[in-house]
Structure 1
Amino acid sequence: MIDPNAIDSDCCRSSLDKKKVYTSKFNELFLSNDVPKNITVFDTTLRDGEQTPGVALTCDDKIRIAKALDELGVNVIEVGFPASSQGEKDAAKAIMNLGLNSKVCGLARSVKSDIDAVADCGLNYVHTFIATSDSHLKYKLKMTQDEVLERAVSAVEYAKSRGLEVEFSCEDATRTSLEFLKKMHIAVQEAGVNRINVPDTVGTISPIAMEYLIRELKTVTKVPISVHCHDDFGMAVANTLSAVRGGAEQIHATINGMGERAGNASLEEAVLALMAFYNAETTINTKMIGPTCKLVSRLFGYPIPANKAIVGKNAFAHESGIHVHGVLNDPSTYEAFGPELVGVERNIVLGKHSGTHSIKEKLNEYGVVLDDERIAQVVDKIKDLADSGKEIDDAELVALASHFAEQHESKHINLDEFAVFTGVKTTPTAVVTLDINGEKRTGTSIGIGPVDAAINAIKTVMGNVFRLEEYCLNAITGGSDSLCEVMVKISKDGKGKAVSVGKGVGSDIVQTSVDATMEALDRLYSRLE
């Protein structure tokens, strides 16, 4: 153990800095020498993950996910429960025939027919199980401990006789008495099991208790111990890490933490945490995590929550001006690791917390350069829009920047007040007050719509000395909350001479139309002076 006083002041960087992982050095104080350094990953997305309510994958879906998992680098892919249906058998056979680098495993109860179903699909790895907790024995199996032990041993021996690699689970292990659990482990070891899994079937154990349990089981278990954690209390990943700290050499996990009820341990979270906190090695190609999570999300029909660790769209999103400034100078300031490590991208979000640095950086990506005054105008506009609940995307930012870049300096005519009234069985009516060289004038008019009424009201104030030659409206991104871009072309006295163009960008069509008209009018007035 490291002396706490030896920890230097640079606590945000670790020996993993070359991998762009910036963890606290205080983690090193609690590294244990008996933590396994190489952890195998047993992925059960296609079995336990598919048991997510409402999910039913086709054979083609399973094949696509299996290929992705193989490319991701998992050691074992649990493809399903072959005895449950012909579709499960077909998928298992198809995946086995892909010639993947990952081992392909099938689930089986401790029943010969289930084990036969796995073997008959051509699989060479079986995960067999039987419940061992008192509640399961009493209310589900209606069997004694001796009967369950005999069934488990028979299943392992039969699976071995069929040439299968065998992983055995005591279902609901974390609610099974330690004495009986140890007895089960000893018995299946003697039957030739290759590894033993410890499932926290209902997610009811705490991390410190999980470490204790695994350490106790290691006293009698000589084959590798695996662990399978559910997330009912939000502890699946924490319990997985604690199990490894206690000596578990294999973890069960699912992509995006999919699974029954609250799901399973999230593979992406568990793998990154093992690497960051324990310096443990896996065969996972971390750069494939992002693409794999997106594929599973799409095929499962379950969107990845925005605030999901590792791969959520907000995981590497920064809005606060201070945070953006720091991240742009050095990612370690506000990121635990670089997004490129897991195959995703950093996202500078534009909103009311955005500052000049983030706006400049985003505009630079599109080759847009503005002076400080124009940048300040863009920032103010973005904050105003954000306060109204509007999120600004890149296309809208560029449109705003272009709008401010094109604005002219002269301001002879300014909009002082504006209101429009419209509705069902109501004639659209607008009232505007303009400031013309310091003199305020008010006018009212109607129109066939609110935009028409507003422009007519401006005409009234100006004495109908201009004519609208052209009006063009575009939604910048196409969404219902998209910023709109309006272009108006007006001429003096409607004679087509002395034409002036104005543009506006905003979230409200009527207001933006008025802004564009006012800009065109001011330019026209300035030109005619």
Structure 2
Amino acid sequence: MNIKVLDTTLRDGEQTPGVSLTPNEKLRIATKLEEIGIDYIEAGSAITSPGERESIKGIMQQGFNSEILSFSRPLSIDIDYCLECDVDGVNLVVPTSDLHIHDKLKTTREDLIELSNNAIDYCKDHGLTVELSAEDASRSDFDFLKSVYQDAIEHGADRICVCDTIGVLTPDSSFELFNKLKDIDVPIAVHCHNDFGLAVANTLAALKGGATEFHSTINGIGERAGNTSFEECVLSIDRLLQDFSTGINIHKIYDISKLVARLTGVYIQPNKAIVGENAFAHESGIHSDGIIKNSATYEPMTPELVGRKRKFVIGKHMGTHGLESRLNEIGLTVNKDQLQQIFNDIKDLADKGKTVTDVDLQVIADNVLEINHEDRIKLGELTVVSGNTVMPTASVKITFDDEEILNASVGLGPVDAAINAVKTVDAFSDVELIEYHVDAIAGGTDAFIDVIIKLQKGDKVVSARGTEPDIINASVKAFISGINRILQD
């Protein structure tokens, strides 16, 4: 069964607190909605403002294949503004619960039905397609709700919609409600809100109960907890529900998700299904190994299906298979020993609470790949004491030509003290530090520090670098690396 999709990102989605789209932004989103194959686009609410009408008119002028609708109350003033925008149809919203009829509209059921029927007649007389949406349908008396729908159909309504306005349905009650309405002889739509986190589940249950259309917003944005998430619903229908499908181009789902997030400023939670940054990210060594061998082991779909790419997250849970794959992605080839050293360095860093970024990985890998295992000098231990009441003091344990040496020294600061401690070895006491440069590679106080130095011995000058989260360690490693280069020739 082919399921139709009505997108209400430009109307219900824009009602997200703090979101206000310009006409050009609305047009950009509408163009993407058309490209991915949305059946019905609710372009806005024409009664809202002149700017809103400008937006709707701009969309209508594109000649899209999608049917373009405007939200409308069952009032002639609303419908006239819709006609001014030359829309294809209206989403005519009529409250049907006693709470809304009596407390909000201050009217009666009988008057409500008359208002609804008159509005439908007016729309049809002016050539508009009508989808009648019963607001708060999920809390309405069922017999009355059905009578509203039946009257609407008799007056020419093309489609009807059940609105779970405050998200109180459950999958069971949603299925039951739509199953009781399935004998209605026009298409039935479902419009859910996510107040209890059930919008997608309730929408899927409604489709199994008899609905043939659903309303949704990109990324599930909307008032309060939002609306049915378009991307979650489409993928669930196409991948999980047998005998159901949409005509959506799912390969472009991620693109439109990012566009809407960027234009609305509504942040996408990292663990959001389908479009969240972690949706196809793997850190666990077991998972990464399985994914590399066969992606179906830990992914219900390939990321490419929705325009994504898989990524292996660098961290303490990562395994060597995932690490090697990530290194290959950034253009690095390592042998078994180098891979193990990089792996150990990442574990050490992660155990200190540091988030290991791609920049960090590059630095760690560069350090390991530059290691000369025939270096004459190797750093063992480094201890530094510094403060505003003590002279900076450092002690180092180094191995020089297989001889273990323990030295200590003082300096003007902790880095100076540490380097002086290394220089106390007679073999390189005449090495001069002639240039010293420090960069923080990424933001934050736990960022990697990149120390680049120049050393001189006689007429020989060499450059070296050390990269660590600790500036003192980075400086000493750079200094020792430089000395090793001097001693190699």
Give the conservation status (yes or no) of the 8 Å contact 1:470–1:488: yes
Q: Which residue of 2 aligns with 1:263?
A: 226
Q: Does 1:291 align with 2:255?
A: yes
- Consecutive unaligned residues of structure 2, counting only runs of 5 or more, are none
1:74 is aligned, of 26, 38, 51, to 38
Which has the higher mean CA deviation after the structures are superposed, 163-172 or 470-479? 470-479
- Consecutive unaligned residues of structure 1, counting only runs of 5 or more, are 1-36
Give the conservation status (yes or no) of the 8 Å contact 2:383–2:396: no
Give the conservation status (yes or no) of the 8 Å contact 1:124–1:164: yes
Within-5 A mapping of 1:426-445: 429-436=392-399, 437-445=402-410
The 3 A distance-change label for structure 1 pair 265 and 42 is same
The 3 A distance-change label for structure 1 pair 481 and 156 is farther
Give the conservation status (yes or no) of the 8 Å contact 1:49–1:254: yes
User: What is the distance in 2 between the residues matched to 1:146 and 1:218?
Assistant: 24
Give the conservation status (yes or no) of the 8 Å contact 1:427–1:446: no
Q: Does 1:516 align with 2:450?
A: no
User: What is the distance in 2 between the residues matched to 1:368 and 1:240?
Assistant: 46
Q: TM-score, normalised by structure 2?
A: 0.94
Within-5 A mapping of 1:1-80: 37-80=1-44
User: What is the distance in 1 between the residues matched to 2:389 and 2:295?
Assistant: 56
Q: Post-superposition shift, 1:368?
A: 2.0
Q: Post-superposition shift, 1:299?
A: 0.5
Q: Post-superposition shift, 1:124?
A: 1.7
The 3 A distance-change label for structure 1 pair 346 and 439 is closer
User: What is the distance in 2 between the residues matched to 1:261 and 1:443?
Assistant: 63
Q: Does 1:483 align with 2:419?
A: no
Q: Which residue of 1 aligns with 2:217?
A: 254
User: What is the distance in 2 between the residues matched to 1:306 and 1:38?
Assistant: 31
User: What is the distance in 1 between the residues matched to 2:474 and 2:397?
Assistant: 16
2:433 is aligned, of 458, 463, 468, to 468
Paired amino acid for 2:449: C
User: What is the distance in 2 between the residues matched to 1:99 and 1:453?
Assistant: 74
Q: Which residue of 2 aligns with 1:455?
A: 419
User: What is the distance in 1 between the residues matched to 2:319 and 2:220?
Assistant: 35
Q: Which residue of 1 aligns with 2:328?
A: 364
Q: Does 1:235 align with 2:221?
A: no
The 3 A distance-change label for structure 1 pair 480 and 61 is farther
Paired amino acid for 1:272: L
Q: Post-superposition shift, 1:439?
A: 4.0
User: What is the distance in 2 between the residues matched to 1:136 and 1:217?
Assistant: 21
The 3 A distance-change label for structure 1 pair 187 and 422 is farther
Deviation readout 1:212-268 (Å, 9 max, x if unpaired): 00011123x211000000000000000000000011010000000000000000000
Task: Specify the SS of the correspondent of 2:226.
Answer: coil
Paired amino acid for 1:68: K
Q: Post-superposition shift, 1:100?
A: 1.3
Q: Post-superposition shift, 1:514?
A: 1.7
2:459 is aligned, of 462, 476, 496, to 496
Q: Which residue of 1 aligns with 2:150?
A: 186
User: What is the distance in 2 between the residues matched to 1:210 and 1:412?
Assistant: 74
Q: Does 1:161 align with 2:133?
A: no
Q: Which residue of 2 aligns with 1:95?
A: 59
User: What is the distance in 2 between the residues matched to 1:190 and 1:485?
Assistant: 75
Query: Once superposed, what is the RMSD of the aligned Cα atoms?
Result: 2.1
Give the conservation status (yes or no) of the 8 Å contact 1:413–1:434: no
User: What is the distance in 1 between the residues matched to 2:208 and 2:367?
Assistant: 58
Deviation readout 1:320-340 (Å, 9 max, x if unpaired): 112111111211011000011
Task: Specify the SS of the correspondent of 2:156.
Answer: coil
The 3 A distance-change label for structure 1 pair 500 and 309 is same
Within-5 A mapping of 1:93-492: 93-219=57-183, 221-279=184-242, 280-410=244-374, 412-421=376-385, 429-436=392-399, 437-447=402-412, 449-460=413-424, 464-476=429-441, 481-492=446-457
Deviation readout 1:123-172 (Å, 9 max, x if unpaired): 12101112111221232111111111111111111111111000011100
Task: Specify the SS of the correspondent of 1:293.
Answer: helix
Paired amino acid for 2:436: Y
User: What is the distance in 2 between the residues matched to 1:445 and 1:472?
Assistant: 21
Q: TM-score, normalised by structure 1?
A: 0.87
The 3 A distance-change label for structure 1 pair 391 and 170 is same
User: What is the distance in 2 between the residues matched to 1:45 and 1:341?
Assistant: 23
Paired amino acid for 2:309: E
Deviation readout 1:439-467 (Å, 9 max, x if unpaired): 442313222x5433432343346684321
